[in-house]
Amino acid sequence: MAVDHGPRAHPLHRKVSFCYDNSMAEPSTTLVAPSILSADFGHLADEVKRIEEGGGDWVHLDIMDGVFVPNITFGPPMVSTLRRHSRLPFDTHLMIVQPEKYISSFADAGSDIITIHYEATVHVHRCLSRIREIGKKAGISVVPSTPASMLTEILPQLDLILVMTVNPGFGGQQLILQTLNKVSQLAEMRRSGGHTYLIEVDGGINRETCKMAIEAGADVLVAGSAVFDSDDIEKEINALKCR
């Protein structure tokens, strides 16, 4: 199934394979979503172009409000500006309280996948329903201390589960190994329940940790420092895909 960009999609968007095929013994190609949190903020338009030219699959956008996490990044106007410079799907990760207030704004700005935090709102079901109603892919994210079992009731609503493998808020952190157990649990829950959500991991992903994440069941790798600190983005992305 291809990504449904909805009626407000930018004309440059391309369609990509999205959902997990539960009939397969092994997942298909690993996707890499470079996070611009580690990019040069003075040249972000050029940086998102580098992601596409280097073989990145998605552009990961970390939205931080200084409340849910101890950092502040940017909002819908920046997403809208960057949308004009890339045909890749925009993977928008809302690390903000009360995300229900901003879902439509980020959708209108050009986000393709909108991920909210389980811990950031009481009305998780309502938020996920709203994301899908407006033609976007719905994701949920959990911090390291939130167990996989908390997501049981909403699994049928999900297109993506983003497992934070560090405590969110800053780039360049070391992966918390215990979080990979959660990835494995979610992969088993997907298999046994016949679900098709993708599993994404974010935090401390590099050449040394990517294989462990993939073996645990991750389909999408978010990488910031590993990609943007590299002299050869294409080579780094291929390395993350274990090519």
- Give yes or no: 40 in active site: no
Beta strands 59-64 and 31-34: pairing type? Answer: unpaired
- Give yes or no: 202 in active site: yes
Mean pLDDT rounded to a whole number for the chain: 90
Q: What residues pair up with 95 in beta bridges, in sequence order?
A: 64
pTM value is 0.90
Segment 222-242 mean pLDDT:
94
pLDDT band at 169 (very low <50, low <70, confident <90, very high): confident
Domains of the chain: 31-240 (3.20.20.70)
CA distance linking residue 174 with residue 128, whole number of Å:
30
pLDDT of residue 170: 75
Q: Is the pLDDT of residue 8 over 80?
A: no
CB atoms within 10 A of CB 45: 11
Instruction: Tell the residue number behind the tokens 């439509």, with chain if given.
Output: 104
* Annotated catalytic residue, options 65, 91, 112, 202: 202
* Annotated catalytic residue, options 57, 62, 65, 112: 62
Per the rule left: phi > 0, alpha: psi between -120 and 50, beta: everything else, 25 is alpha
CA distance linking residue 199 with residue 42, whole number of Å:
31
Are 196 and 20 spatial neighbours (Cβ–Cβ below 8 Å)? yes
Tens digit of each residue's pLDDT (9 = 90 or more) over 66-79: 999 999 999 999 99
Tens digit of each residue's pLDDT (9 = 90 or more) over 107-141: 999 999 999 999 999 999 999 999 999 999 999 99
